[in-house]
Structure 1
Amino acid sequence: MLDQSIDFIRVTIALVMLGIATSSDIKKREISDIVWIIFGAAGAIMLIFSVDITEDLFKVGIALIVAPIALIIWRVGLFGGADAFALIALAVIAPGMTVFEGTVTPFTTLTNAVLLSIVPMLVNAVRNTILLASKRNIFDGFEETKARKIFAMFIGYRAANPKFGFSIERMQGKKKKLKLSIQHAESTQFCEKKDTWITPGIPYMIFIAAGFVVQLVFGDILATVFGIF
């Protein structure tokens, strides 16, 4: 009973942390490091009340395997430092926890988040397909291959008044070209040009929070998919 109560508190701490972080990321596109310090410390303190502290320390140690991977992804620029710190804090606060009767790994929140981040790409594709079907020339002025246009339809859209988005178009002489290289999550400036192609700068913290919730109530999406096949 005590063990279940401690787990409940840990999960609650993790959810509150993710709620605060996600809200801040949506509003300001930044998260104070104090969030990770406070909640990470709270998770560490909870270890003192563990029924079996040795076992729980082992779980945290295994979960922290995600740390170097998260830091590498941050340095590459696929997401921000706050996202990496969130995963590290979760490894300390709630290592591999789920109410689903199955095994989750230290990477479950991350892999769930990656899979959930595909959803906006599908939304972009549907939105652009509808515009093309309605005879809107969303690629007006561009000289690009069909393959690059199709790829652009998944990663972005033409925005009249972009906000919190990264430009994916450039001028090459008098011709418009698509810029489809990876945008560094922390160093790339938000686009301010009107009527231009952008990739939306959706806070990745949304996907991390959603990935953790899915881990709690469902488990590992990727493992489930592989299990089907």
Structure 2
Amino acid sequence: MLGSIPDLLRLVAVPVFGWAAYRDVKTRRVPNRTWTPLAALAVALLLWDAYAVWTGPTAVGQRLFLIRVAISLGFVVPLSYGFWLVGGFGGADAKAFMLVAVLFPVYPVYYLPTVALPLQQSAIGVFSLTVLSNTVLAGVAYPLAVAAGNLSRGRFSLAMFIGRPVPASAVTEEYGRLLESPDGFDRSGLDLDALRMYLRWRGCSLADVRADPDRHRRPASLPAVPNDPGDGSLATDGGEVADDGDGTGRGDAPAQAVADRSDAVDDPWGAERFLDDIDHSAYGTSPAQLRDGLEVLAERDEVWISPGIPFLVPMFAGLVVSLTYGDVLFALLQAVGLA
């Protein structure tokens, strides 16, 4: 494969994004240090290209380059940040797309013996927009694949396009969100990371809750000194309580009921106290969501969850497709005469 040195160096992004997507699937956590070296490389390559274009022979080429870079940095970067602000992107997703905007503002070119890649360029010529549109298309295909899998297994539910059934006793081993409340299907059910945080905080397991839900509903059953809830990741705490021999998960806190609370307090499951006690948000969980989720998990044998798809997975797929085929959306619009 032949290409300019900057374009060849940009291919370093492929294994980095592949590793990040894999880690996002396994842990839903991508370290910030993942992006730092690639960000430094992206800035250096952008300056390299800018110098090459600016000292080039044509003013037209200079203007096109500047316009495309301006669109990539001035549109894709703020768009990614905006999606993060409203909760549409996770932090790693936003950083990754901002990185794409800097690393791939214009189309790279790779020469194979018989063809040049990418095969299909868009009319605008902003490669980060191509990666974005291909990522969206890859994301849209996911619920169709989920529905097909559920149909093939005879699983029918309102949640069949976005979720799958799992044993209620095993949800602490999963990532995602409950798709059920006591009233039925609910797309805004309890986040399973928040559930792990809650169980760790109060020093019990989901099996304990299911074995004696009435006791755990009572605020008086809360520990006097709650545990550090962690961040809910399976990678860091596995959803298990780090037992130090006294049943609390920490060596200096005896397992005893809260002295200044009674069963008369209107706080079933201690949901409000949990969310008030932790020093950060439990992924936007409300007391009502936590209570409803615990009620469902305490009473049912099987529940539907939305495992979701970490956005870095379709982003990685979108990047690979963009570097090889090119702009799928533009090709589709051309095929129906709209481009």
Q: 1:13–1:93: 8 Å Cα contact kept in structure 2?
A: no
Find the partner of 2:76 among 55, 66, 73.
66
Matches within 5 A, 1:131-150: 131-132=153-154, 139=157, 149=158
Cα distance in 2 for partners of 1:183, 1:207 equals 24
1:165 is displaced (CA, Å) by 2.0
Matches within 5 A, 1:1-229: 4-10=4-10, 12-50=11-49, 52=52, 54=54, 55=62, 59-64=68-73, 65-98=75-108, 99-101=117-119, 102-103=121-122, 104-105=125-126, 106-132=128-154, 139=157, 149=158, 152-160=159-167, 161-162=170-171, 163-172=174-183, 177-181=184-188, 187=283, 193=297, 195-229=302-336
Cα distance in 1 for partners of 2:308, 2:284 equals 10
* Structure 1 residues 221 and 4: CA distance shift in structure 2, 3 A: same
Cα distance in 2 for partners of 1:117, 1:155 equals 12
Cα distance in 2 for partners of 1:183, 1:124 equals 20
1:46 is displaced (CA, Å) by 2.3
SS at match of 1:82: helix
Cα distance in 2 for partners of 1:183, 1:67 equals 31
Count of aligned pairs between the two proteins: 207
Q: Which has the larger radius of gyration?
A: 2
Cα distance in 1 for partners of 2:181, 2:189 equals 14
Cα distance in 1 for partners of 2:68, 2:152 equals 48
Q: 2:162–2:308: 8 Å Cα contact kept in structure 1?
A: no
Residue type of the alignment partner of 2:34: V
Cα distance in 1 for partners of 2:7, 2:89 equals 29
Which whole-Å deviations, capped at 9, do the CAs of 1:173-213 have from their partners, x for residues lacking one? xxxx1112599999267x89562111113211011111011
Cα distance in 2 for partners of 1:219, 1:124 equals 26
Q: RMSD value over aligned CA atoms?
A: 3.0
Moved more, 192-201 or 218-227: 192-201
Cα distance in 1 for partners of 2:53, 2:46 equals 6
Q: 1:156–1:198: 8 Å Cα contact kept in structure 2?
A: yes
TM-score (norm 2): 0.54
1:168 is displaced (CA, Å) by 0.9
Which whole-Å deviations, capped at 9, do the CAs of 1:39-80 have from their partners, x for residues lacking one? 111111223433525446654332122011112222222331
1:154 is displaced (CA, Å) by 0.9
Residue type of the alignment partner of 2:324: V
Cα distance in 2 for partners of 1:226, 1:131 equals 35
Residue type of the alignment partner of 1:26: V
Moved more, 68-77 or 213-222: 68-77
SS at match of 1:97: coil
Q: 1:166–1:188: 8 Å Cα contact kept in structure 2?
A: no
Q: 1:47–1:53: 8 Å Cα contact kept in structure 2?
A: no
SS at match of 1:198: strand
Give the aligned partner of residue 144 of structure 1.
Answer: none
SS at match of 1:31: coil
Moved more, 121-130 or 100-109: 100-109
Q: Indicate the structure with greater helix content.
A: 1
1:93 is displaced (CA, Å) by 1.6
Q: 1:13–1:43: 8 Å Cα contact kept in structure 2?
A: no
TM-score (norm 1): 0.77
* Structure 1 residues 21 and 127: CA distance shift in structure 2, 3 A: closer
Cα distance in 2 for partners of 1:182, 1:219 equals 38
SS at match of 2:317: helix
Cα distance in 1 for partners of 2:134, 2:189 equals 21
